[in-house]
Amino acid sequence: MLRADRLSVEFPAGKGWLRAAEEVSFTLAPGETLALVGESGSGKSATAMAVARLHGPEARVTGHLGWTTREGATLDLATLRGEALRRLRGRDIAVVFQDPGSALDPVFQVGDQIAETLRHLRGAGRREAAEGAVALLERVGIPDPRRRAEEYPHQLSGGMRQRAVIALALAGQPRLLVADEPTTALDVTIQAQIVELLQDLQAREGMAMIFVSHDLGLVAGLAHRICVLYAGQVVEEGPAAEVLAAPRHPYTRALLDCVPEMEGDAAPPRGIPGRMPSPLDPPAHCRFADRCALAEAACRAQPVPLVAVAPGRSSRCLRWPEVA
Ligand SMILES: Nc1ncnc2c1ncn2[C@@H]1O[C@H](COP(=O)(O)OP(=O)(O)OP(=O)(O)O)[C@@H](O)[C@H]1O
């Protein structure tokens, strides 16, 4: 359904450009969830926002985003403009962000906001839209949806607000949901509930999803494929079960080591020692070398390419067979 081919996202910085994402490639099948994982600043959001075409005019996006429409035609999302882009946004591709507050207007009742979207995107009549809004609130697990529909966003808890935002995203019957750290602002128990909801909706509606997270533990139960980003580059990509069971890049290994062993583990999450290189001036060789226990002279001698290590799996590490 979606094929990102050498997608790069750059932002103006001083006299040059900051490469937030660099030649990122992946594919997404209908009904599949792809997790984009990495530390803060690794380029996850830049990549996800490029897919949703939500960057400001200052961003320079290059590469291709092949998209197969409902009718089977192929478009390049990266170059879509005007009416075709408006039709796609909100309808075929919906987005849920970290902060549920930003997607809801504080001065309108939640149900009215969803109803208005149904009228706009699906041409529903007034009554049909109001009923549709209640049905959507019910579908995302909001108890007593008829009463909740009449409340204002501030009357809902954080978790309920994020559910309402997801209901709003579903209003256009999207084929792809882009969820950018949708649970980061929520309590741990609520996080799990929202992840469960997304998983359930995704399976029921057959929607594809791009899920952005810094937490490999969180995406473990959700993702079909995982794409690990480091300093703007894909360092590992493959089926989630394989990546989690036998990582082929030391950075993925290190991210896995940060995941608490057991749910409710009281130990504070450990970070990875060292810092990610600045995207303004990344080294020409392996970008992870300075934080990597396996790094040797060859890793600092040349750029390291992303290579296939198994069918459907790739790694950007010279010593990948030794990682798992
Ligand atoms: N609009 C912008 N203008 C300039 N630089 C930007 C812009 N958006 C992102 N960046 C930079 O691009 C790099 C990648 O950012 P991005 O937000 O994609 O990372 P991320 O992995 O999603 O991290 P986070 O979890 O913190 O959002 C960072 O260095 C960031 O500062």
Q: What is the CATH number of the domain that holds 88?
A: 3.40.50.300
Tell the residue nearest (CA) to atom 3 of ligand 1. 11
Question: Do 159 and 198 fall within a single domain?
Answer: no
> What does residue 72 show for φ and ψ, rounded to 5 degrees?
95, 0
Question: Do 188 and 199 fall within a single domain?
Answer: yes
- ipTM confidence: 0.95
Has residue 60 got a pLDDT over 90? Answer: yes
Has residue 212 got a pLDDT over 80? Answer: yes
Asked if 10 and 48 touch (Cβ cutoff 8 Å), the reply is no
Question: Do 123 and 162 fall within a single domain?
Answer: yes
Question: Do 286 and 259 fall within a single domain?
Answer: yes
pLDDT at 265: 55
Which atom of ligand 1 is nearest the CA belonging to 47? 18
Q: Angle at Cα 210 formed by Cα 317 and Cα 251, nearest 5°?
A: 20
Note the pLDDT tens digit of each residue in 126-156: 999 999 999 999 999 999 999 999 999 999 9
Question: Do 200 and 275 fall within a single domain?
Answer: yes
Asked if 119 and 172 touch (Cβ cutoff 8 Å), the reply is no
Pairing of strands 225-230, 33-37: parallel
- Among the three residues 154, 173, 192, which one is the final residue of a domain in this structure? 173
Length of the chain: 324
- Is the CB of 315 within 6 Å of ligand 1? no
Question: Do 66 and 155 fall within a single domain?
Answer: no
- Is the CB of 17 within 6 Å of ligand 1? no
Task: Quote the ligand 1 centre to 43 CA distance (angstroms).
Answer: 6
- Among the three residues 116, 143, 173, which one is the final residue of a domain in this structure? 173
Which atom of ligand 1 is nearest the CA belonging to 56? 1
- Is the CB of 202 within 6 Å of ligand 1? no
**Average pLDDT of the residues of the chain:** 92
Question: Do 58 and 197 fall within a single domain?
Answer: yes
Question: Where in the sequence is the domain holding 37, given as residue range(s)?
Answer: 2-92+176-264+271-322
**Which amino acid does the sequence have at 312?**
G
Pairing of strands 208-213, 33-37: parallel
pLDDT at 178: 95
Q: How far apart are CA 221 and CA 196, in angstroms?
A: 9
Note the pLDDT tens digit of each residue in 85-118: 888 887 899 999 888 777 899 999 999 999 999 9
Q: Angle at Cα 8 formed by Cα 173 and Cα 311, nearest 5°?
A: 75
Which atom of ligand 1 is nearest the CA belonging to 45? 22
CA distances from 144 to 126, 138, 168, 305 (A): 21, 8, 17, 53
- Measured over the CA atoms of residue 276, residue 46, residue 309 and residue 222, the dihedral's sign is positive
Q: 């001698």: which residue's tokens?
A: 301
Mutate to test the pocket of ligand 1, among 7, 18, 49 (most ligand atoms within 8 A of CB): 18
Task: Quote the ligand 1 centre to 20 CA distance (angstroms).
Answer: 6
pTM of the model: 0.93
Q: Angle at Cα 21 formed by Cα 303 and Cα 176, nearest 5°?
A: 135
In which band, very low, low, confident or very high, does the pLDDT at 225 lie, cut at 50, 70 and 90? very high
Question: Do 251 and 103 fall within a single domain?
Answer: no
How many domains does the structure of the chain reveal? 2
Question: Do 41 and 141 fall within a single domain?
Answer: no
- Is the CB of 166 within 6 Å of ligand 1? no
Question: Do 68 and 103 fall within a single domain?
Answer: no
Note the pLDDT tens digit of each residue in 23-38: 999 999 999 999 999 9
Tell the residue nearest (CA) to atom 10 of ligand 1. 20
